[in-house]
Amino acid sequence: MTQRFSLLDSPIGELLLTGDSVSVTGIWMQSHRSEWQRTRTWQRDDRAFADTRAQLTEYFAGERSTFELSLAPEGTPFQRKVWNALCQIPYGETISYGELARRIGQPSAARAVGLANGSNPLPIVVPCHRVIGADGSLTGFGGGIERKRWLLAHEARYSKAVVDLFS
């Protein structure tokens, strides 16, 4: 099957979107593109990623807090369990690795949860940036701590704006 890709300019740098004709398999930031190798079987197809591009653009504009995309990340059953739990963290909120481990029913697996979090191939859409250290520090993010800080500040700004509308 021919794999497809698209490039999207964003406030945190150019994003490389990968997938097939049905699902998104990866969102790669410039700092971790070495994990993705383009071969002759990859074909640029911006139209195949029209929904992904539109929803990410809306997210960066502060107009979207959840995503409705067909996703097909490759990972172990444990990684998928962690990634599913990441999707339950509300927009504009953060939790610790320990709390995420508790939420998946494995309270002593914070370190393993951190590794699975770091292997997430769909950052932003599967919001691994919302997981922080137990002391509130910003720890590990494949896209770099500055991007993590930007994403959290972005969500805090827009989630507050949404709350203020109803105050």
Which residues are catalytic, by number? 128
- Cβ neighbours, 10 Å, residue 126: 22
Place of tokens 């097939």: 20
Backbone angles phi, psi at 58, to 5 degrees: -65, -40
**DSSP at 8:** E
Burial 77-100 (b: 16+ CB within 10 A, else e): eebebbbebbeebeebebbbbbbb
- Share of the chain residues as helix, strand and coil, in percent rounded to the nearest 5: 45, 15, 45
Place of tokens 């494949």: 142
* DSSP-derived 3-state class of residue 128: helix
